[in-house]
Amino acid sequence: MGRIGYIFLYVCLGFVALFQIFPIVWLFLFSLKDNREIFAGSPFALPEQIKWQNYLTVWEGGIGNYFWNSIWITGVSIFLTLLFASMAVFVITRMSWKLNKLVLGLFMVGLMIPIHSALIPLFSMFLGVGLIDNPLSIVITYTAYNLPITMMILLGFYYTIPKEIEEAAIIDGASLHKLFFRIILPITSPVLATTAIINMIYNWNEFVFVNTFISSDRYRTLTVGINNFVGQYMTDWGAIGATLVISVLPIIVAFLFFSNKIVEGISSSAVKG
């Protein structure tokens, strides 16, 4: 490809980037306007007077509690998913035992189970053990549902790790636990970052499980909380916009910080050998 071709390619990519960024910028400007500017002015115009009060209004209205619930439930679920998936893949790919393929197949069956088909059995199970209206039910559900896809992404990367690394560590006296936590986990950090972002997007935006298992306002996450806020602030569109900005901001920030790791993890796990 010649110089002109590269220039044309970068111009096209620039237009695509602007097309992708524009809705986020528009939503942010929308959240800084009042109803008069939103309905009377141009949707592309800058706010005449910045209304930071919209953010204060929704935060004092309870969005902070929903935001905190989403953060800690998402964080705990991601940690448990990555830990359990890494342990399972390590045992399946790095150890020789008769039923490893069967166990891997059982985990992969989880990819074929629709979410909605499991709602009633899960609700009945959590009701029987007293976990309805308990955030632990959400953490358990997120962890279990994200295990198959996380393991599938990790598998390709684990197969690329040379056996010589483990053999050298064992010769130096490393125990199984030290081998996993001190050597294997640091090596897999790029693909772990990739799976963490994938898990975060799912957990952060999930609605059905929280709406089904959580009934009190105390434990609701942002997705269900926003649904309530839309009804509460139906006449205040600037406040609704501020709520939506707060909900998407953590995903954008996380992606910006881990974008290099995501690309590295995807490319590493896509090649075997």
pLDDT tens-digit readout, 130-152: 999 999 999 999 999 999 999 99
Which residues span the domain enclosing 146? 61-269
133: alpha, beta or left, given left = phi > 0 and alpha = psi -120 to 50? left
Distance CA 206, CA 220 (A): 11
Domain-located, residue 5: no
Is residue 87 situated within a structural domain?
yes
pTM here is: 0.84
Q: Does 16 reside within a domain?
A: no
In a domain, residue 44? The reply is: no
How many Cβ atoms from other residues are within 10 Å of residue 241's Cβ?
A: 24
12 lies in some domain: no
Band of residue 264 on the pLDDT scale cut at 50, 70, 90: low
266 pLDDT band, cuts 50/70/90, is low
Residue 216 within any structural domain of the chain: yes
For residue 53, is it within any domain? no
pLDDT at 128: 94
CATH number at residue 186: 1.10.3720.10
Quick: pLDDT tens for 149-186: 999 989 888 888 888 888 888 888 888 888 888 888 98
* 52 in any annotated domain: no
Domains held by the chain: number: 1
CA distance 191 to 272: 14
